[in-house]
């Protein structure tokens, strides 16, 4: 393993994932399954022989709780952790808190699909994936990447869309490609970076 190690993990299943609700910046905690997924993420990383120097997470409970549980399994409960809303999930605006089926009944299946799966069309009062990238990527470049490039093994516990924004850049994916990428809850992705910050290797522990 190179020392330029970056690990991304999406939070475990949340209470609103289970209820099929748009979550965004709302703040439900993990379900029992989500707790188990977070612990399993920590065990998988430990099985890879990984220890971390620093971790980053969002301002939302489900990502913070996932990180805490994973670090406990790694035997690193006191690892320095930096929290920032730049890593928050995409803001779903007026859709937040709505059941996805109810949203389809209100706005139509095609319109809801456009909001969920287009790159640059935001839901009312919310963010598109492009908007999410616009706040997540600068934070990654300015605050997270310098640690990785100094050889600090770095763990990020965040959300499906904030991590998609990072994966889009790391893997040089088009808007169409990243929209098709599904991220499993609690499944770590391990990147090692070259000295120019491009990806040297990738191991997806969710596969």
Query: Which among 201, 187, 203 has a CA at the least distance from the CA of 11?
Result: 187
Can you give the pLDDT at residue 9?
Answer: 98
Question: How does the average pLDDT of the chain come out, rounded?
Answer: 95
Q: For residue 8, what are the CA distances in angstroms to 12, 118, 189?
A: 13, 23, 5
Can you give the pLDDT at residue 20?
Answer: 94
What is the band of 44 on the pLDDT scale with cuts at 50, 70, 90? Answer: very high
Mean pLDDT confidence for 14-26: 95
Query: Which among 155, 206, 148 has a CA at the least distance from the CA of 181?
Result: 206
Contact in structure between 127 and 88 (CB atoms under 8 Å): no
Query: Which among 169, 186, 187 has a CA at the least distance from the CA of 178?
Result: 169
Q: What is the pTM of this model?
A: 0.95
Tokens 């990527």 locate to 137
Q: For residue 37, what are the CA distances in angstroms to 66, 94, 177?
A: 8, 29, 26
Mean pLDDT confidence for 1-28: 92
Q: DSSP class of residue 21?
A: B
Check whether 78 has a pLDDT greater than 50.
yes
Check whether 180 has a pLDDT greater than 90.
no
What is the band of 3 on the pLDDT scale with cuts at 50, 70, 90? Answer: confident
Instruction: Give the strand pairing for 5-10 and 154-158.
Output: parallel
Active-site residues, by number, are: 11, 89
Pick the CATH number of 5-204 from 3.90.650.10, 3.40.50.620, 3.90.1310.10, 3.40.50.1240: 3.40.50.1240
Check whether 27 has a pLDDT greater than 50.
yes
Can you give the pLDDT at residue 1?
Answer: 47
Mean pLDDT confidence for 22-50: 97
Percentage of the residues of the chain whose pLDDT score is greater than 70: 99
What is the band of 207 on the pLDDT scale with cuts at 50, 70, 90? Answer: low
d(CA 140, CA 168): 13
Can you give the pLDDT at residue 2?
Answer: 52
54 forms beta bridges with 154
State pLDDT tens for residues 121-159: 999 999 999 999 999 999 999 999 999 999 999 999 999
């Amino acid at each position: 393993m190179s020392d330029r190690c970056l690990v991304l993990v999406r939070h475990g299943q949340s209470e609103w994932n289970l209820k099929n609700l748009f979550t965004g910046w709302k703040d439900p905690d993990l379900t029992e399954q989500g707790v188990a997924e977070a612990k399993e993420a920590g065990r998988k990383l430990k099985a890879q022989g990984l220890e971390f120097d620093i971790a980053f997470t969002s301002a939302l409970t489900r990502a913070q709780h996932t990180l805490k549980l994973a670090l406990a399994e790694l035997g690193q409960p006191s690892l320095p952790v930096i929290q920032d809303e730049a890593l928050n999930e995409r803001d779903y605006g007026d859709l937040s808190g709505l059941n996805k089926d109810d949203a389809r009944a209100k706005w139509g299946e095609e319109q809801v699909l456009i909001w969920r799966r287009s790159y640059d069309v935001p839901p009312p009062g919310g963010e598109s994936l492009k908007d999410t990238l616009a706040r997540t990527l600068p934070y990654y470049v300015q605050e997270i990447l310098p640690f990785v490039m100094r050889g600090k093994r770095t763990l990020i516990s965040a959300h499906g869309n904030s991590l998609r924004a990072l994966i889009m850049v790391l893997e040089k994916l088009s808007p169409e490609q990243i929209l098709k990428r599904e991220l499993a809850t609690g499944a770590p992705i391990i990147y090692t970076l070259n000295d120019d910050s491009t990806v040297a290797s990738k191991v997806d522990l969710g596969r």
